[in-house]
């Protein structure tokens, strides 16, 4: 089996991975269909669970299709696809943070200059600039444009919101395609595995954390922010995420111990980032960025799905680059 | 609709959806092909465009928005887009004594079209809509069989505030409420106040 796998070309290996993922999704969708057909609608909680499951499956389909398209169409198109995701995520973020007339030019700058430039830097592999462009240069540029708008009211707050939006949505998401372009020795053509590794360990960690909390509910650590977050289930999620990362080391350029460490770093960044985003949502008085199409803004909840990844990707990218001296 | 207008309308729809989502929330009534007067709050010239984009395509072709003549005929492009793409009805905001400003609206309603009306008359920049002008009342009286649907347009003024040229991507939605009818013997003032309340009630729903 393993010699068969090793004899495949890198792109055949990645293709096989997608066949497996889509197979898994088809199986899950069939299973969800069967249980939804058997549901008689009498048990409200059960029906609710089924609805949540099918919405989760729908997002998984969309995300896997995006990843597949991204991989199949090459790195440049992949990066552009992620740029579109970042655009929609930032749109959602800004919609729910009140802005004033004075922010208009800064918003134009964020959407139509900062976002394209950041992803262009990724495409052209200027990784040093990718890491500092937003935290250093844009950090100064945005408040300058805001100050020129001549509106001092809540200046710090408004700018902080915009900076955060750019940091999470543009900076965070741009590091996912950056992984595709990272040049590991003896690993060319296989970078898609690195993205898969990151997404898979982070999502596994989050899912296990969620399930652990449902199975053994404990006192929430910060109940005002999150009813479900507690250190015990967090540690369980982390442990499983790290373990899965170790199992997947064969797919990555890492040795098993390195893979565990990288998976742990990604899981910590992702799950804590998710907690931070929950606090942001509470601050805005909402529980989800999109509340199943009911919200007045029409936000679709894209940010809910990608927030863990937004925090995990830059940290993961930097650790990999720094440790391996790339 | 000729080919150029068709292409423009597809391009505009794509652009508006990418920038704002242009989500329609049919809360008080379903989207239905009956003769209707949609009336909504007015904060930006883009309101017209958003309402147009939020309607499903079957209704879009039978619904004509009201456009302010002075603004929408300023350049040949604006004039072309309002006539060829939006199929708008121009209303003259400058008072002239010899012509009833409602006349083009009455013509459209008599020929069976639905219309989109902004009863405030001008754009407001306050949180709450300004008092409604009497046009809505006069039309309701003249056309008792036309269904009056209140609508709340959310967020558009953030997309393009007064005086800016580049729009910013922010999600917007249009909420359609339950139809309203002019009651027997109801006077102008109380009907207009009720209509304004119906629009405002959709803001937080």
pLDDT score of A37: 79
Number of domains in chain B: 1
The span from the CA of B73 to the CA of B84, in Å, is 12
Q: Please spell the DSSP secondary structure of chain B, one letter per residue.
A: --HHHHHHHHHHHHHHHHHH--EEEE-SS----S-EEEEE---STHHHHHHHHHS-HHHHTTEEEEEEHHHHTSSHHHHHIIIIIS--EEE--S--SSS-TTHHHHHHHHTT-EEEE-TTSS---SSSPPPPPTHHHHHHHH-TTSEEEEEEEESHHHHS-TT--S------EEEE---B-PPTT--HHHHHHHHHHHHHHTTT-
- Test B173 with A298 for CB contact under 8 angstroms: yes
Do residues A65 and A95 both lie within one domain?
no
Beta-carbon contacts of residue B96 (< 8 Å; ≥ 6 apart): none
Confidence of residue A298 (pLDDT cuts 50, 70, 90): very low
Q: Please spell the DSSP secondary structure of A262-292, one letter per residue.
A: HHHHHHHHHHHHHHHHHHHHHHTT-SSSS-T
Mutate to test the interface with B, among A92, A104, A149 (most CBs of B within 10 A): A104
Confidence of residue A121 (pLDDT cuts 50, 70, 90): very high
Chain B CA closest to residue A102: B161
B166 touches chain A (CB under 8 A): yes
Say whether pLDDT at B121 is over 80.
no
- The more confidently predicted of residues B45 and A136 is A136
pLDDT score of A287: 64
pLDDT tens digits, A140-150 = 999 999 999 88
Do residues A222 and A98 both lie within one domain?
no
Interface of A with B in 79-138 (CB under 8 A): 87, 90-92, 94-95, 99, 101, 104, 107-108, 111-112
> Average pLDDT in the B43-63 region?
89
The span from the CA of A169 to the CA of A311, in Å, is 9
- Test A296 with B154 for CB contact under 8 angstroms: yes
Chain A CA closest to residue B157: A101
B25 touches chain A (CB under 8 A): yes
Are A103 and A158 spatial neighbours (Cβ–Cβ below 8 Å)? yes
Do residues A36 and A136 both lie within one domain?
no
Domain that holds residue B153: 3-201
Domain that holds residue A45: 11-72
How many CB pairs lie under 8 A apart between chains A and B?
50
- Test B155 with A101 for CB contact under 8 angstroms: no
pLDDT score of A113: 94
Beta-carbon contacts of residue A310 (< 8 Å; ≥ 6 apart): A89, A168, A169, A172, A173, A273
Residue from the list A111, A293, A300 with its beta carbon closest to the beta carbon of B168: A111
Do residues A79 and A173 both lie within one domain?
yes
Q: What percent of chain A has pLDDT over 70?
A: 90
Residue from the list A108, A293, A297 with its beta carbon closest to the beta carbon of B155: A297
Contacts of B23 in chain A (CB under 8 A): 293, 298
Confidence of residue A315 (pLDDT cuts 50, 70, 90): very high
Do residues A103 and A174 both lie within one domain?
yes
- Test B175 with A299 for CB contact under 8 angstroms: no
Prediction ipTM score: 0.80
B73 touches chain A (CB under 8 A): no
> Average pLDDT in the A213-239 region?
85
In this structure, how many other beta carbons lie within 10 angstroms of the beta carbon of residue A99? Answer: 19
pLDDT score of A130: 92
Q: Which of A148, A181, A214 is the last residue of a domain?
A: A181
Structure pTM? 0.84
Beta-carbon contacts of residue A67 (< 8 Å; ≥ 6 apart): A18, A195, A196, A199
Say whether pLDDT at A47 is over 80.
no
pLDDT tens digits, A244-257 = 999 988 888 888 99
Q: Quick check: is A85 in a domain?
A: yes
> Which of A218-227, B26-35, B74-83 has the least mean pLDDT?
A218-227
Task: Output the CA–CA distances (angstroms, integers) from residue A313 to A1, A240, A265, A267, B29, in the order listed.
Answer: 32, 19, 10, 10, 45
Say whether pLDDT at A187 is over 80.
no
Number of domains in chain A: 3
Contacts of B155 in chain A (CB under 8 A): 95, 297
> Average pLDDT in the B117-123 region?
83
Q: Give me B29's structure tokens.
A: 């009534």
- Test B154 with A104 for CB contact under 8 angstroms: no
pLDDT tens digits, B8-17 = 999 999 999 8
Confidence of residue A169 (pLDDT cuts 50, 70, 90): very high
Do residues A43 and A143 both lie within one domain?
no
Confidence of residue A92 (pLDDT cuts 50, 70, 90): confident
Contacts of B173 in chain A (CB under 8 A): 296-298
B201 touches chain A (CB under 8 A): no
pLDDT tens digits, B152-172 = 998 888 888 877 888 889 888
- Test A298 with B170 for CB contact under 8 angstroms: no
Q: How far is A297 from chain B (nearest CA, A)?
A: 6
Q: How far is B131 from chain A (nearest CA, A)?
A: 24
pLDDT score of A293: 45
> Average pLDDT in the A2-10 region?
72
pLDDT score of A296: 46
Do residues A223 and A325 both lie within one domain?
yes
B14 touches chain A (CB under 8 A): no
- Test A95 with B25 for CB contact under 8 angstroms: no
> Average pLDDT in the B85-111 region?
82
Chain A CA closest to residue B203: A296
Q: How far is A293 from chain B (nearest CA, A)?
A: 9
- Test B204 with A296 for CB contact under 8 angstroms: yes
B173 touches chain A (CB under 8 A): yes
pLDDT score of A218: 82
Q: Per DSSP, what are the bridge partners of residue B39?
A: B117, B150
The span from the CA of B64 to the CA of B61, in Å, is 8
- Test A296 with B173 for CB contact under 8 angstroms: yes
Contacts of A104 in chain B (CB under 8 A): 161, 164, 168
pLDDT score of B113: 92
Q: Quick check: is A3 in a domain?
A: no
Find the CATH number of the domain harbouring B77. Answer: 3.40.1130.10
Average model confidence (pLDDT) across chain A: 84
pLDDT score of A1: 54
Do residues A214 and A236 both lie within one domain?
yes
Chain A CA closest to residue B162: A101
Q: Cα A58 from chain centroid?
A: 16
pLDDT tens digits, A57-79 = 777 787 788 778 877 888 888 89
- The more confidently predicted of residues A279 and A287 is A279
Q: Per DSSP, what are the bridge partners of residue B150?
A: B39
Q: Which of A57, A72, A87 is the last residue of a domain?
A: A72
Do residues A323 and A210 both lie within one domain?
yes
The span from the CA of A209 to the CA of A231, in Å, is 10
Contacts of B154 in chain A (CB under 8 A): 296-297
Q: Quick check: is A4 in a domain?
A: no
pLDDT score of B147: 93
Mutate to test the interface with A, among B17, B43, B168, B202 (most CBs of A within 10 A): B168
pLDDT score of A114: 95
Chain A CA closest to residue B166: A108
B156 touches chain A (CB under 8 A): no
The span from the CA of B50 to the CA of B24, in Å, is 10
Do residues A206 and A313 both lie within one domain?
yes
> Average pLDDT in the A312-319 region?
93
């Amino acid at each position: 089996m393993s010699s068969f796998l090793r004899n495949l070309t890198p792109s055949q290996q990645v293709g096989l991975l997608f066949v497996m993922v889509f197979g898994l999704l088809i199986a899950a969708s069939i299973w969800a269909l069967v249980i939804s057909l058997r549901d008689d609608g009498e048990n409200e909680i059960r029906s609710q669970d089924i609805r949540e499951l099918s919405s989760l499956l729908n997002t998984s389909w969309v995300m896997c299709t995006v990843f597949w398209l991204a991989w199949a169409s090459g790195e440049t198109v992949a990066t552009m696809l992620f740029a579109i995701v970042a655009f929609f995520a930032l749109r959602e973020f800004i919609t729910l943070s009140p802005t004033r007339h004075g922010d208009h030019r800064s918003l134009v700058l964020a959407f139509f200059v900062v976002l394209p430039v950041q992803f262009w830097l990724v495409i052209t592999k200027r990784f040093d600039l990718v890491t500092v462009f937003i935290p250093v240069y844009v950090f100064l540029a945005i408040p300058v444009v805001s100050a020129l708008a001549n509106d001092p009211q809540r200046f710090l707050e408004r700018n902080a919101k915009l900076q955060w939006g750019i940091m999470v949505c543009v900076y965070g998401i741009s590091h996912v395609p950056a992984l595709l372009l990272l040049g590991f020795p003896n690993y060319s053509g296989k970078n898609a595995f690195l993205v898969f590794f990151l997404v898979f360990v982070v999502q596994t960690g989050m899912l296990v954390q969620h399930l652990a909390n449902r199975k053994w509910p404990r006192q929430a650590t910060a109940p005002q922010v999150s009813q479900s977050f507690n250190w015990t289930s967090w540690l369980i999620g982390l442990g499983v995420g790290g373990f899965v990362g170790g199992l997947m080391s064969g797919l990555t350029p890492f040795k098993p111990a390195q893979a565990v460490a990288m998976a742990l770093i990604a899981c910590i960044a992702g799950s804590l980032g998710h907690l931070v985003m929950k606090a942001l949502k509470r601050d805005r008085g909402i529980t989800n960025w999109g509340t199943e199409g009911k919200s007045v803004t029409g936000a679709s909840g894209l940010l809910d799905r990608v927030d863990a990844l937004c925090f995990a990707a830059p940290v993961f990218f930097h650790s990999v680059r720094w440790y391996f001296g790339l | 609709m000729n080919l150029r207008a068709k292409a423009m309308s597809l391009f505009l729809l794509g652009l508006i959806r990418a920038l704002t989502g242009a989500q329609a929330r049919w809360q008080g009534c379903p989207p239905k092909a009956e003769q209707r007067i949609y009336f909504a709050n007015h904060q930006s010239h883009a309101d017209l465009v958003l309402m147009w984009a939020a309607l499903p395509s079957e209704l879009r072709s039978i619904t004509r928005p009201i456009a302010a003549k002075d603004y929408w005929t300023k350049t040949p492009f604006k004039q072309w887009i309002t006539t060829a793409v939006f199929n708008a009805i121009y209303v003259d905001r400058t008072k002239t004594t010899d012509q009833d400003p409602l006349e083009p609206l009455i013509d459209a309603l008599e020929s069976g079209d639905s219309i989109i009306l902004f009863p405030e008359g001008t754009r407001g920049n306050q949180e709450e809509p300004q008092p409604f002008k009497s046009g809505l009342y006069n039309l309701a009286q003249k056309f008792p069989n036309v269904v009056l649907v209140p609508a709340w347009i959310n967020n558009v003024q953030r997309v393009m505030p007064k005086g800016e040229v580049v729009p910013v991507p922010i999600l917007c939605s249009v909420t359609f409420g339950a139809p309203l009818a002019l009651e027997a013997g109801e006077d102008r003032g109380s009907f207009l106040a009720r209509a304004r309340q119906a629009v405002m009630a959709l803001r937080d729903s």
